[in-house]
Amino acid sequence: MALAVAVGGAWLALRPGEDRTAMEGVPPPQTDDAQRRGADEQRAGREAQARKVAQEKAAAEAAQRQAKEQARAAAAARQQAEAEEAKHRAEAEARAAEAQARADAERQAEAAETALRLSEQDRKRIQVALSSLGYSTQGNDGAFGPRTRQMIAAWQKSQGALETGYLTAGELAALRQQAASALARYDDEQRKIEEDKKRADADARRQQEEDARKRAEEDQRRQAPPPASVAVAPPPSAAAADGSYYGEHCSGLKGEEVSCRAVSAVVTGGVGSFRWRVGRCGNGSFGSATFKIDPTGALTGTVMGFNERCLPGGAQIWGQYAAGRITIQSRGNLRATLIRK
């Protein structure tokens, strides 16, 4: 059966089973389950929205914290870099100042050592002293090379002094005192070496003089003496020339002025000799002349002297004796006149 109702002045027919509220545009009433589902959906939407907001807030806060942390890390890194740079700069400046101070100290020490005017022997004794104290200079040649400078610096370090490698007057005195016994032994050895050298030189000089004398005698035997240039008195006997004589001997090197000096001689059995000092060749250097007078008064002999290099040499001499007067000459510029006392 259909029902007819008036809606807005119009009659609508309702079929059986149709809800009038639906016909009027009013939603039908919800059941309890539908209501609960709707409430749950709304609550879930709200919770999801809240979670989303919370997540976005947490993400923003985390990003902010990370940005702050990165800023702090960057600032710390910058501060550390600046501190490291300042430290390195300070260290470099300190090293430069130290190097400059050391260079200045070394220059002053070098000047102080130069003022000591160390001789070669002084330097040798310093090397001996260092080596005796355990600072080996690997020899004592008197030359201060890198090794000696290193050993001086090592010794200075042991004394608490600045390691310059150059000795001051005070350090030199301390070094000599510490190595006094070693230096005494070294000095004794050096004196012995010097004495041996002097003896060897004297022996060599005597041998040279002897060789020169023998050569001169050989030359004299090979050559006849030149005729005497002095007029002679009636020939006396050889013994007639015996006696003591005084007079003057004159000689000089080629190209130099002839110098004269007083000499004295003794003639025995017609054989005589005299000698004179050669000052330019040392206090122990003497020239000598040996001669023989035959019964006719003719004089022959040899003279021993020194050349411009103070090397010994000999030459032939000749002359004449007459009335207590002896005259002597040679091929060079030697001449002598002797008068009997």
Residues 228 and 334 in one domain: yes
Residue 217 lies in a domain: no
Per mean pLDDT, which of 2-11, 98-107, 118-127, 213-222 is the most reliable? 118-127
Residues 332 and 316 in one domain: yes
Residues 249 and 285 in one domain: yes
DSSP class per residue in 140-180: --S---HHHHHHHHHHHHHTT----SS--HHHHHHHHHHTH
- Please identify which residue in the block is written with the tokens 């104290």: 133
CA-based nearest residue to 159, from 176, 136, 175, 177: 175
Residues 85 and 123 in one domain: no
Residues 144 and 253 in one domain: no
Residue 301 lies in a domain: yes
- Classify the phi-psi angles of 116: left when phi > 0, otherwise alpha if psi is within -120 to 50, otherwise beta: alpha
Residues 232 and 306 in one domain: yes
What tens digit of pLDDT does each residue of 45-87 get? 999 999 999 999 999 999 999 999 999 999 999 999 999 999 9
Residue 292 lies in a domain: yes
Q: State the total domains in the chain.
A: 3
- Classify the phi-psi angles of 172: left when phi > 0, otherwise alpha if psi is within -120 to 50, otherwise beta: alpha
Residue 173 lies in a domain: yes
What tens digit of pLDDT does each residue of 227-263 get? 555 544 554 566 788 999 999 988 876 666 778 888 9
- Please identify which residue in the block is written with the tokens 């110098």: 259
**Strands (E) located in the chain:** 3-7, 10-14, 243-251, 259-268, 271-277, 286-293, 298-306, 312-322, 325-330, 335-340
Residues 94 and 165 in one domain: no
Give, for 199, the enclosing helix (H) or strand (E).
helix 180-222
Q: Return d(Cα 162, Cα 157) in angstroms, integer.
A: 7
Could you tell me the CA-to-CA distances from 180 to 101, 128, 132, 176 in Å, in that order? 33, 10, 10, 6
Range of the domain at 155: 116-178
Q: Half-sphere exposure of residue 181, counting CA atoms within 13 Å on the CB side?
A: 2
Residues 295 and 332 in one domain: yes
Query: What's the whole-number average pLDDT of the chain?
Result: 84
273 contacts 265 by C-beta, under 8 angstroms? yes
Residue 71 lies in a domain: yes
Residue 318 lies in a domain: yes
Residue 3 lies in a domain: no
Residue 1 lies in a domain: no
- The interaxial angle of helices 120-132 and 146-158, nearest 10 deg, is 50
Residues 250 and 307 in one domain: yes
Residues 72 and 166 in one domain: no
Tell me the pTM.
Answer: 0.40
* Last-in-domain residue among 115, 143, 162: 115
Residues 161 and 91 in one domain: no
